[in-house]
Chains A and B, each alone.
Chain A
């Protein structure tokens, strides 16, 4: 059972990958990992490249299957759910930000933020209102009709933040959100992300190499040798 304020709980999660496409000896990435995330709190996962941080995030969000263990998200065991049920949870209760902003390049900034809300079943009008509000909050009200290739890296990432929050998710999964930005833009995004998360009362699972950024979260976990260690 999950505790009442736990939104995400990983129990004894293990994951391995085949060494080659043709099989071979599997490589163990995660071994009996336990982790919890409480509502409206933030955790950061740090670790060396290849340590399995992103794998841990993908498993937590139900994007990747696991070999062993249980992932409970909002009282539901993600491993038991079908594709359509997972899609619904991703749409309504999860937000994602990646290192690359991953915007739909045929669409404007406004539409990129609007689309996830419409996928979740929000009316076009309300989705637009929410998108406008969020884009204003991330300081892009003057870039509404710009397409992806007309925006800078920092601006694209700000659109991605707005997009991730448009459905008022329970958890925001952020994988190296500042990884591709210069120092000044990275600092802006860090502040913006943490402020919005706090303001919107959204739980955050952050993957980062940046210890300073990680230290601004409620808890910091370090992934080392297939296990998670509480770092701070």
Chain B
């Protein structure tokens, strides 16, 4: 088949040196497909970034990426990929303010716990409490919990803990307030000094080593530690329902995106159907001049696929551009403290989920190509005499 001929016919179909009508039709379709692809890419980036953000909050503030359930005397070899290891204690407690109460998870941490990585996940009030000479232990609670309990920095609250089947009250003072941006986590997490936990629970609190590792090395490190005979869990095992929900949500959203991609692929074939319908006369003319159906199908397939690929590239670029600037928009929204958005995480690192985006685009292109081929069957049905006027 003549490549220059196909090139000549395709460029004209694309509107290059063609009529304004053909240019307009192509531009309209490029715009439409780009918008859909852009929205898909943007939505996928948003969902994956938010899920990762939530997972990160739980991992960094909740339990660490990996937990080693051994006592402090156990010798642990810190291998590569581990950026931090802290020995922490945790217990559940009821916290009372003068007007409200709430069940919380009390976490005792050492002085080096809030390193740069963890501080990056939360915002602390600018000013710390200046000691008023009180000997009361100090705790760090979230602004969400403070709002729930109607208390603020410097206020006193009571902790009611169960120790050896006895209830033990402890009055504490709120040293500072933090905000991780994720209300679900913040409302139930209270930090205190590890020494306080030791004192309150007489070494009977649940203790473990909390490790921060590179995201993609969690399983490697876990296996390595298990091979040393240590009792190890990862953050998703400790927060099973949260991790499962996040995964299910991501899969469900990806499924919806794929369905939209399939529909978009089908829509693309509408372009080829429309082109063939409009060009019936020209196609009949080309057939009369001796063009085989395969040549005509190749011209239309190439044209529509070029439009599709161009739109996909453009749409992906738009989606990624919008996604990368999402952080600014979310920061702005977070600052507005809009009540309707209070349950959503608005502070997370934007990631580009290459695999998911590639999958969506691949499905779109495959469905598009197949539906174009299907729609091109009608080329054969065009009567080559339909272009002529006979008496």
Contacts and interface: CB of A to CB of B under 8 A. Distances in A.
A102 B12 contact: no
A107 B12 contact: yes
Contacts of A119: 2, 5, 286, 289-291, 295
A122 to B, nearest CB: 8
B292 interface: yes
B289 A91 contact: yes
A115 interface: yes
Given A115-B5, A176-B391, A105 B19 contact: yes
Contacts of B282: 104-106
A90 interface: yes
B320 to A, nearest CB: 35
22 contacts: A54-B391, A55-B390, A87-B287, A87-B290, A88-B290, A89-B290, A90-B288, A91-B289, A91-B290, A92-B290, A100-B389, A102-B288, A105-B19, A105-B282, A106-B282, A115-B286, A116-B290, A118-B4, A119-B290, A119-B295, A120-B290, A123-B4
B242 interface: no
Contacts of A67: none
A102 B387 contact: yes
B285 interface: yes
Contacts of B389: 98-100
A54 B390 contact: yes
Contacts of A73: none
A96 B22 contact: no
Interface in A52-108: 53-55, 58, 63-64, 83-84, 87-92, 94, 96, 98-100, 102, 104-107
**Interface secondary structure of B, over-half rule:** helix
B388 interface: yes
Contacts of A84: 292-293
B391 A90 contact: no
Interface of B: 2, 4-5, 8, 12, 18-19, 22, 282, 285-293, 295, 380, 384-385, 387-391
Interface in A164-180: 167, 175-176
Contacts of A55: 390
A139 interface: no
A115 B286 CA distance: 9
B338 to A, nearest CB: 53
A106 B12 contact: yes
A71 B160 CA distance: 104
Contacts of B19: 105-106
A94 B2 CA distance: 20
A121 B291 CA distance: 10
A104 B285 contact: yes
Contacts of A155: none
Contacts of A63: 288, 384-385
Contacts of B380: 83
A115 B8 contact: yes
